Amino acid sequence: MKDIINTLFLLLIVGSFACAQNFRDQTDEYRDKYKKEFLHTSNSPLKEGDLPFLQFFDPDSTYRVIAKFEKSKSESFEMPTYSGVKKTYVKYGTLKFKLNGRKHSLNVYRSLSLLAVAKYKDYLFIPFKDKTNGNISYGGGRYLDLKTTDLKDNTYILDFNKAYNPYCAYSDGYNCPIPPAANHLAVEIKAGEKKFDKTHQEARLR
């Protein structure tokens, strides 16, 4: 009986390690793709020589949570950007979730300008701030993207390991939405992209 228990315990440890390694590999693969996109985007603020300065938190499955989605019926509004330009969005809904035992929520927004473009009509947007901003991560907040098709049975796998910086984190001259007050989290989100390890001027001069 003791041998059976020991074997089951060993299998549990091996299985947990395999899952953790798989999650790390998936996150690393996602980040490699994310970096390469900078080289194929016409208005990208970065070039190949800038990519080594992109910094990330270690992959952490703690920051991958199941969120409940509640659809909203809201009118359009103007979301300010750091450049002063305003962009038109509508609140699409709210994600409610628990992180480290505490309840949180984030509003999900939809761009009306992208809604008119067939390629991006399903795109949704989560701009947020947390307690790492200005210290470990970019002071202006970070973003998460998703699609309407990602919302299954009013649930969504919210993965902060995929949080990324707005272009304003790398260079001036971009219209980056300012995360609304409703999306300011009172906790540290030690996942996703960190502060860019290069100054704006260096990024422009390359």
pLDDT score at 198: 81
Share of the chain above pLDDT 90, in %: 81
Q: Which domain holds residue 43?
A: 2-205
Please tell me the distance from the alpha carbon of residue 90 to that of residue 84, in angstroms, as a whole number: 19
Domain count within the chain: 1
Confidence tier at 19 by pLDDT (50, 70, 90): low
pLDDT score at 21: 77
**Which residues sit opposite 88 in a β-bridge?**
78
Q: What is the pLDDT of residues 144-189, one digit of tens each?
A: 999 999 999 999 999 999 999 999 999 999 999 999 999 999 999 9
E strand or H helix at 13, and its extent? Answer: helix 2-37
Of 77, 91, 50, 21, residue with least CA distance to 200: 50
Quick one: average pLDDT of 14-42? 83
pLDDT above 50: residue 16 = no
pLDDT above 60: residue 8 = no
pLDDT score at 155: 97
Q: What is the pLDDT of residues 36-91, one digit of tens each?
A: 999 999 999 999 999 999 999 999 999 999 999 999 988 899 999 999 999 999 99
Please tell me the distance from the alpha carbon of residue 189 to that of residue 141, in angstroms, as a whole number: 11
Sign of CA dihedral 79, 105, 135, 142: negative
